[in-house]
Structure 1
Amino acid sequence: MGAYLVRRFGLMLLTLFGISVIIFVLLRVVPGNIVDILFDSAGMVNPAEKVKIEKELGLDLPIPQQYAAWIGGLVHGDLGYSYVSEKPAIAEIAPRIPVTAKLAAMALAFSVLIGVPFGVISAVRQNSAADYVLRVLSLSGLSLPSFWLGLLMLMGFVAWFGDMPIYTEPPATLWDELLLYAAPAAAVGFRSSALVMRLTRSSMLEVLRQDYIRTARSKGASASSVNYHHALRNAMLPVVTVIGLEAAFLIGGLIVTETVFNIPGVARFLVEAIRTRDYPIVQNLVMFIAVVVVVVNFIVDMLYAVLDPRIRYSG
């Protein structure tokens, strides 16, 4: 187990290093940079002034030196300064992380609490009326774009209730947070719940056809014991994988949802930073998302051993 953890941590570090190199280099080889954008917006054409700003921002240095300076700053907790707002990058990023994390957590909770139970019901009652209804519901969830569903929810709330909570300032209470994030979380979580539901159903059907399930039934085990104790636990391995992937996706994949509902989260801020070539913001946000993805994948691997005692990690 110890040897496996050492190898896995080494692979995680190698993955993060590769991502850091790719994002750093790509940002600097694409046409246009922050200096060009600043000059175009201000209408300035003085070449000497442009060279001076590039030197102040460190953009005149070779890319390897710029990369080394960035990594050195990360090691010491210095994320650099935003070129656009002229504030420390950590001051711009830190307040937005909890916003996206709460929205992603609520969306993931919605998808799991809806998808897993309905997937089990659909499998246990295969080819029944409930199964057909749930299958149509899951197909609808996979077919509807989250931004379109979000717009429908906005119009529906306004038409029926005359108002809808919109993010204008940080919510003061937990109840305000629930009201604020419930609609966008449901909009983006509906698709995830449909995916989890379909995967749970197919995995449950496969497990329910296994010999040990028939043996348990022949020994007089109750239907609930067979379905939830024997079948569901073994069917959860692929479902946990998808839930982990969805959790990682939600951190960086809420761009449209945050825009539709005017939520100042990480994903929306990342798009704005890419548009303005705000290198420190983009680099650090992408690295944050990469760390989340790598850590979630590691947690999923560890959950395999918990759910299936047959899985052992050894040297």
Structure 2
Amino acid sequence: MGAYMIRRFLLMILTLFGMSVLIFVMLRVVPGNIVDILFDSAGMVNPADKKRLEAELGLDKPIVQQYVTWITNMMKGDLGYSYVSEKPALDEILPRIPVTAKLAALALFFSVLFGVPLGVISAVRQNTGLDYFLRVVSLSGLSLPSFWLGLLILMAFVQYAGWIPIYSDAPRGFFHELFLLSIPAAAVGFRASALIMRLTRSSMLEVLRQDYIRTARAKGASANSVNYDHALRNAVLPVVTIIGIEAAFLIGGLIVTETVFNIPGVARFLVEAIRWRDYPIVQNLVMLIAVVTVVVNFIVDMAYVVLDPRIKYEG
């Protein structure tokens, strides 16, 4: 187990290194930079001033030297300065992380809260009217884009309540903030819950056909004991995998939702930074999403041993 954890940790570090190189290089390959944008918007084409600004921003150095400088400073907690606001990138990013984290956590909570129990019910009541209804609901969740569902929710509030539940920078208390975040979280979590529900159902059906389930029933075990103590515990492993993938996806998949609901989070800020070619903001935000994705997958791998003792990792 210890050797496996070390290997997975080293693989995680190697993956993050590769992602950092890819992110940095891809941003530099894109045509145009912040200097071009600034001079085009100002209508100035003074080559001397342009070269001086490129030197101040470090864009005149070789790309390898720029990358080494970025990684070294990032290790020290220095993410550079925003080219647009001229503020430290860390000061721009940190206030937005809790907002996106709350939204993603709520969306994941809703998806698990509804996805797993409804998937179990659908499997236990296979080929009944309830099963068919839940399968239609899950297909609807997979078919509806979250941003379109969010727009429908906003229009419904305008039509029937006469106001729009738009997130404010200063919500009136904890419950007011929870309410404003719950609406977009439900819109995003609906798709994730549909995916989790279908996977839970298929995994449960596969386990319920196993010989040890029939043996448990033959010994007189109750339906609840068979369904939850025996079947669900062994069917939950692939469900945990998809929950981990969805958790990582939510951090970077909230761009349109945050824009629709005017939420000042990381995802919406990333769109604005891309529009302005604000390299320090873009590369640090994309790197943050990569770190979250890799770390979540590492945690899921470590959770396998806890959830299923049959799994043994050879050193």
Q: Name the residue aligned to 1:123.
A: 123
Question: Does the 8 Å contact 2:123/2:202 carry over to 1?
Answer: yes
Whole-angstrom distance in 1 between the partners of 2:251 and 2:169? 21
Q: How much does 1:226 deviate?
A: 0.4
Q: For 1:32-51, what aligned pairs fall within 5 Å after superposition?
A: 32-51=32-51
The gaps in structure 1 that reach 5 residues or longer are none
Q: Which runs of 5+ in 2 are unaligned?
A: none
Structure 1: which amino acid aligns with 2:44?
A: M
Runs of 4+ in structure 1 deviating by more than 6 angstroms, as ranges, are: none
- Which residue in 1 is equivalent to 2:212? 212
Correspondence 1:86 to 2:86? yes
In 1, the alpha carbon distance for the partners of 2:75 and 2:136 equals: 50
Distance 1:277 1:107 in 2: 30
Contact 1:2 1:314 in 2 (8 A): no
Amino acid of the structure 1 residue aligned with 2:151: L
8 Å Cα contact 2:114/2:193 also seen in 1 = yes
Query: 1 CA distance for matches of 2:110 and 2:236?
Result: 17
* One-letter code aligned to 2:274: I
Name the residue aligned to 1:11: 11
Quote how far apart the aligned CAs of 1:8 are: 1.1
Residue by residue, what CA displacement relative to the aligned partner does 1:259-314 show, whole Å, maximum 9, x if unpaired?
10000111111121112111111111111111111110011111111111111223
CA contact (8 A) 2:37 2:276 kept: yes
Deviations 1:204-230 (A, max 9, x none): 000000000000000110000000110
- 1:300 is matched with 300
Structure 2 counterpart of 1:159: 159
Separation of aligned partners in 2, 1:223 and 1:186? 32
Name the residue aligned to 1:67: 67
* 2:292 partner letter: V
For each residue in 1:90-125, what CA deviation from the matched residue of structure 2 results, as whole angstroms up to 9, or x when unmatched? 000001110100000000000000000000000000
Spell out the pairing of 1:87-236 with structure 2 (5 A cutoff).
87-236=87-236
In the aligned structure 1, how far is the partner of 2:222 from the partner of 2:8? 41
Question: Match of 2:22?
Answer: 22
Q: Percent identity?
A: 79
Distance of 1:178 and 1:123 partners within structure 2: 33
How far off its partner does 1:171 sit?
Answer: 2.2
Partner of 1:287: 287
Contact 1:141 1:191 survives alignment (8 Å): yes
Distance (Å, rounded) in 1 between the aligned partners of 2:174 and 2:215: 48
- Shift of residue 172 of structure 1? 4.1
Q: How far apart in 1 are the matches of 2:36 and 2:150?
A: 36
Distance, in Å, in 1 between the alignment partners of 2:5 and 2:311 is 15
| Superposed displacement of residue 20, structure 1 | 0.4
Contact 1:135 1:198 in 2 (8 A): yes
Measured on the aligned residues, the alpha-carbon RMSD in Å equals 0.9
One-letter code aligned to 1:251 = I
Deviation of 1:169 (Å): 1.6
Match of 2:58 in 1: 58
How far apart are 1:174 and its partner, in Å?
1.7
> Would you say how many aligned residue pairs link Structure 1 and Structure 2?
315
Any idea what SS the aligned residue of 1:168 has? coil
Q: List per-residue Cα deviations over 1:189-244 (Å, max 9, x = no partner).
A: 00000000000000000000000000000011000000011000111111111000
Tell me, in whole angstroms, the C-alpha distance in 2 between the residues paired with 1:109 and 1:167.
Answer: 19
Q: Distance in 2 between matches of 1:9 and 1:221?
A: 42
Q: Secondary structure at the match of 1:312?
A: coil
Distance 2:222 2:254 in 1: 43
In the other structure, the counterpart of 1:254 is: 254
Alignment correspondent of 1:241: 241
State the Cα deviation string for residues 112-152 of structure 1 (Å, max 9, x = none). Answer: 00000000000000010100110000000000111110000
For 1:256 and 1:41, locate their aligned partners in 2 and report how far apart those are by CA, in whole Å: 27
C-alpha distance in 2, partners of 1:274/1:16?
A: 21
Amino acid paired to 2:121: I
Over residues 4-43 of structure 1, what are the superposed CA-to-partner deviations in whole Å (9 max), with x where a residue is unaligned? 1111111011000000001101111111001001111111
SS at match of 1:153: helix
What letter is aligned with 1:36? D
Distance in 2, matches of 1:276 and 1:75, equals 25
